[in-house]
Amino acid sequence: MRKKVGALVTIIILILLFFTLKDIQFKEIYTALTQINISYVLLALVAFLIYYMLWALRLKNTLAGYVKASYFYLLKIVWAGAFVNTITPGVGVGGEPVRAYYIGEKYNKPKTKVLGFIAADQFFNILGLTLYVIASTILIFFLIDITVLKNIIPIILVALALISVLAFYVFWKNAHKELHWIEKRLYHLKSIRKHFKTLPDFEKYFTRKFHNITNILKEAITNRNKLSIGIILSVIYRSFEYVAAYVIFLALGQDISLAALLVVVTFAHLLGDISPIPGGIGLVESAMIVLYSAVGVPIHIAALVALLTRTAFYFYTVLVGGLTLLSLQKNK
């Protein structure tokens, strides 16, 4: 279901991008690039560096009491996981197990329990994003002057809320079937099958490990201290995504309202998260261009801001993250 929805969203955004870019003047892009202020571009890189540093700080807080981990080691873990997330579909698909593996190896802790804490850290991240989505949704009413659309939005939000509740109910009722399907697929792997004589043996092992993860997850997210600090750090660290985009606007000698910036960046990343495209690459940039144009940013500026912002982001996720993962594998 998620893949179908993500694929539909991707197609819609690409169609909108086509109609948005069809009249673009590439001479305007070239002129804007020749006048760019490199100092502000470097500030965007600094903003994303702080973004990852705060992420590592939140992870350290989440693991507190279980693993006394080095902050700088966790920073490397965050970058390595970000690289894996970028090359796998969706968010948190491959990066979280990678982080759990290296932390467990480094500090001699059960990897399933570490994964439970990392799942809790991801939960704090989602809560932070949810707050930005709520704020952005409210701001849409002030950015859009079309009365009809304003009347439709509440209906859409209620419908989405009902669909979300129904989807959660269906998932909860079918969770056992989903787990059984995962167990059967995993048991086909030779590396797993050689350790377990029968599928039921592996199912018992898998269920026990899965319960370890969920128990640790519940323990972490019900800890008031970890929950409050986790949400605060999630809100602060995500704010540097907006800072990076804003200084790119300044680098091009342009300005944008903070409300418009908040709406565009938030929903562009949200669309990237539900996309089946690995890391949302291409879709996030496309959504940014379409949304920036929708709030009145000149099309050539919208394209440049989207591409330069994401380039700064990929500098850390792809280049720094990839090199960090290689170093972790080498020193394993």
Structural domain boundaries of the chain? 2-148+223-330
The whole-number average pLDDT for the span 299-317 is: 89
Contacts of 90 (CB under 8 A, 6+ apart): 2, 6, 273, 274, 275, 276
Give the pLDDT confidence of 219-265 residue by residue, as tens digits: 888 888 988 999 999 999 999 999 999 999 999 988 888 888 998 89
DSSP string over 54-76: HHHHHHHHHHTTT----HHHHHH
Mean pLDDT for all residues in the chain: 77
Provide φ and ψ at 69, rounded to 5°.
Answer: -90, 150
pLDDT computed for residue 292 by the predictor: 86
Q: Which long-range contacts (CB under 8 A, 24 or more apart) does 218-226 make?
A: 219/116, 220/62, 220/116, 220/117, 220/120, 220/121, 221/120, 221/123, 221/124, 226/61, 226/62, 226/64, 226/120, 226/124
Residue 162: both structure tokens together: 């009902």
What is the C-alpha separation between 288 and 306, in angstroms, rounded? 6
Distance from chain centroid for Cα 195? 35
pLDDT computed for residue 176 by the predictor: 52
Global pTM?
Answer: 0.76
pLDDT computed for residue 148 by the predictor: 42
Least confident range of 28-37, 122-131, 209-218: 209-218
Give the pLDDT confidence of 82-135 residue by residue, as tens digits: 998 888 755 445 678 888 888 988 999 888 888 888 888 988 988 888 889 888
At 149, the pLDDT band (50, 70, 90 cuts) reads very low
Q: What percent of the chain has pLDDT over 90?
A: 26
At 58, the pLDDT band (50, 70, 90 cuts) reads very high
Q: Does the structure show a pLDDT above 90 at 164?
A: no
Whether 79 and 102 have beta carbons less than 8 Å apart is answered as no
pLDDT computed for residue 134 by the predictor: 86
The whole-number average pLDDT for the span 275-303 is: 78
What is the C-alpha separation between 212 and 239, in angstroms, rounded? 33
DSSP class of residue 222 equals: T
pLDDT computed for residue 321 by the predictor: 93
pLDDT computed for residue 62 by the predictor: 92
pLDDT computed for residue 171 by the predictor: 47
pLDDT computed for residue 185 by the predictor: 55
User: What's the CA angle centered on 211, arms 130 and 63, to 5 degrees?
Assistant: 55
